Amino acid sequence: MESKLRAILPDAELIRMYEQMVLSREFEESCAEQYTKGHITGFLHLYSGQEAVAVGATAGLHRDDYILSAYREHAQAIVRGAEPRRVMAELFGKRTGICKGKGGSMHLFDPNLSFMGGYAIVGGQFPIAVGLAFAAKFRKEGRIVACFFGDGAANQGTFHESLNWARLWELPVLFVCENNSYGIGTSVARASALPDIHRRTCGYDIPSERVYGMDVIAVYEAIKWAAEWVREQNRPFLIEAITYRFRGHSMADPGKYRSLAEVELWKSRDPVPAFANRLVEEEIATEAQLEGIRQQALVTLADAVKFAEESPWPEDSEVWEDVYA
């Protein structure tokens, strides 16, 4: 059988993407369990259902392109290369965490991975992304900025200010909207005069495209093309990925604003088994191989939880550290 996937990416890369999707999903499931046990406290926003966006988008970027995101960003950090054990330790509030336990679930950051942060004020990351793009262009670094945001953020003033600014100064920003249909419990249709978020960019003369965000390869191809366009043109572009979160907004949300039928419909489009089926159908991997990948992810996560549990708390004196440079 002729493989469509192989025409797009080599086998090893496809398998790696599947590993990342499974690891992302299992990481979130593990977080939910640790939250229930009281090991993870505070807000916890899980990404389950949206994995195709983080994995496909990251694969379409260069390794040193900047990534910024919001507060549902565990998967984006891990897919970019953050060690699961250091992310888990962060969620446990331990000093071995990726931000020494100062950030928590919503504020992951690693400059060595060009992962420039999870931001928990809706829309707060837009202007910062524009500023990073200015610095990258000013210093002729050749890298672009991928700025992830949710559908709700498109109604913040910073979205509009930043689109205007990025186009005006001709800056290499790829805006990536993860439209999962809800800003907490308010649907896009109930919050946005124009629910097609990608169409909003016409007011700023910025091209845009919509992509089916449950298909990792579709996301990859859209992002790859757009990222290269942004890099070559030194101009912004926006991609709206249509996706869905399987869980509530946060662990505190029972999700009563959406019907069971709707949730079940989207679960039938689960991007992880969908990609698994394609890999098997196109004979890129066997089912046994894919099950092995899942088992490996579980081993990684057991290690991550153990590491987080056994890690030390921050010292009291650390409360004063890193407030000023």
Q: Which residue ranges make up the site for another protein (CB under 8 A)?
A: 66, 97-103, 107, 109-111, 116-117, 119, 121, 124, 126-136, 138-139, 157-158, 161-162, 164-165, 168-169, 321-325
| Minimum CB distance to another protein, residue 68 (Å) | 9
Cβ proximity to another protein: between 135 and 302 the closer is 135
| Minimum CB distance to another protein, residue 101 (Å) | 8
Q: Compute the distance between CA of residue 97 and CA of residue 254 in angstroms, rounded to an integer.
A: 29
Strand partners, 179: 242
Cβ(50)–Cβ(244) under 8 Å? yes
Cβ proximity to another protein: between 37 and 139 the closer is 139
DSSP 318: G
Q: Which amino acid is at 161?
A: E
Cβ proximity to another protein: between 21 and 129 the closer is 129
| Minimum CB distance to another protein, residue 107 (Å) | 5
Cβ proximity to another protein: between 40 and 132 the closer is 132
| Minimum CB distance to another protein, residue 204 (Å) | 11
**CB neighbour list of residue 138: distance below 8 Å, 6 or more residues apart:** none
| Minimum CB distance to another protein, residue 238 (Å) | 17
Cβ proximity to another protein: between 130 and 223 the closer is 130
Q: Which amino acid is at 263?
A: V
Residue of 127, 82, 123, 133 whose CA lies nearest to 103: 82
| Minimum CB distance to another protein, residue 311 (Å) | 14
Cβ proximity to another protein: between 127 and 207 the closer is 127
The helix (run of H) or strand (run of E) holding residue 135 is helix 125-138
Cβ proximity to another protein: between 124 and 185 the closer is 124
Cβ count within 10 A of residue 16: 15
Place of tokens 């100064």: 169
Residue of 87, 101, 98, 111 whose CA lies nearest to 28: 87
Instruction: Assign residue 144 a region (left: φ > 0; alpha: ψ between -120 and 50; beta: otherwise).
Output: beta
Place of tokens 């662990």: 251
| Minimum CB distance to another protein, residue 234 (Å) | 13
